[in-house]
Amino acid sequence: MPISARRPVSASRGRPALNREDADVYRRLIRAGLAHLTEKGYSAVSLDEILQAAAAPKGSFYHYFRSKADFGSRLIAAYDEYFVGKLEGCLSNEALSPLERLRAFTADAERGMERHGFRRGCLVGNLGQEMGALPEPFRDQLVRILQGWQERTARCLQLARDRGELGAHHSPEALAAYFWIGWEGAVLRAKLERRAEPLHIFSDIFFRSLHP
């Protein structure tokens, strides 16, 4: 899925803001990093691969990032910014009922995976799978991001319950947690099998279970 870094920042705290040329290189490095990590994961990607894909001068990496861990943390933040925009775009669509908004998100996510032949998954889910080999600070960052997605989904499900689309016995918070646990697993399986069927199975069963 096409992802861009919309907010170029200085390479590290205390450094001046990037000039236009540096900001362009920074954005290319972020885009290349996101593409590689959503497909291969953190541990399997080398900095040389990122620099080559970004057409960035060899050896320039440390002008923008303190370390590979710093780079990874910025990629996680950039992915979350992009993903929240996509999620909110669906969940705030007042032309649809609340549950239809969540369905629209799953359909949009499927189209995004399909565009890349199901080679790319969710960066947050991918990194969670290899957490044992990642810098420990990534753990809290990933958990906070998942909780943020979950809270947005819970608000949408609460609205569905308020409007009678969802039975009063359902807990929006519990359903939102269940949705993200299951959806991330379905995305992982779809990437493994290179097909949409796991996404369909999960979403169909999830939405059928929500009848009032």
Asked if pLDDT for residue 192 goes beyond 50, the answer is: yes
Distance CA 9, CA 77 (A): 12
Asked if pLDDT for residue 156 goes beyond 60, the answer is: yes
C-alpha dist (Å) from residue 173 to 81, 83, 85, 212: 22, 20, 21, 16
Among the ranges given (89-98, 132-141, 144-153), the one the predictor scored with the smallest mean pLDDT: 132-141
Q: Which of 34, 123, 6, 21 is nearest to 63 (CA)?
A: 21
Torsion sign across C-alpha atoms 175, 126, 51, 64? positive
Torsion sign across C-alpha atoms 23, 24, 29, 35? positive
Q: What are phi and psi of 31, to 5 degrees?
A: -60, -45
pTM of the model: 0.86
Among the ranges given (4-8, 33-37, 145-149, 185-189), the one the predictor scored with the smallest mean pLDDT: 4-8
Asked if pLDDT for residue 101 goes beyond 80, the answer is: yes
Asked if pLDDT for residue 57 goes beyond 90, the answer is: no
More confident residue, 157 or 39: 157
Distance CA 45, CA 30 (A): 13
Distance CA 202, CA 5 (A): 31
For 200-209, the pLDDT digits (tens) are: 999 999 999 9
Mean pLDDT for 61-78 is 93
Give residue 12's pLDDT: 45
- Residue 212: pLDDT band (50, 70, 90) is low
For 28-37, the pLDDT digits (tens) are: 999 999 999 9
Q: Which residues contact 70 (CB under 8 A, 6 or more apart)?
A: 12
The percent of residues above 70 in pLDDT, for the chain, comes to 90
The superfamily CATH assigns to domain 68-208 is: Tetracycline Repressor, domain 2 (1.10.357.10)
Mean pLDDT for 135-141 is 94
Mean pLDDT for 77-93 is 97
Distance CA 44, CA 62 (A): 20
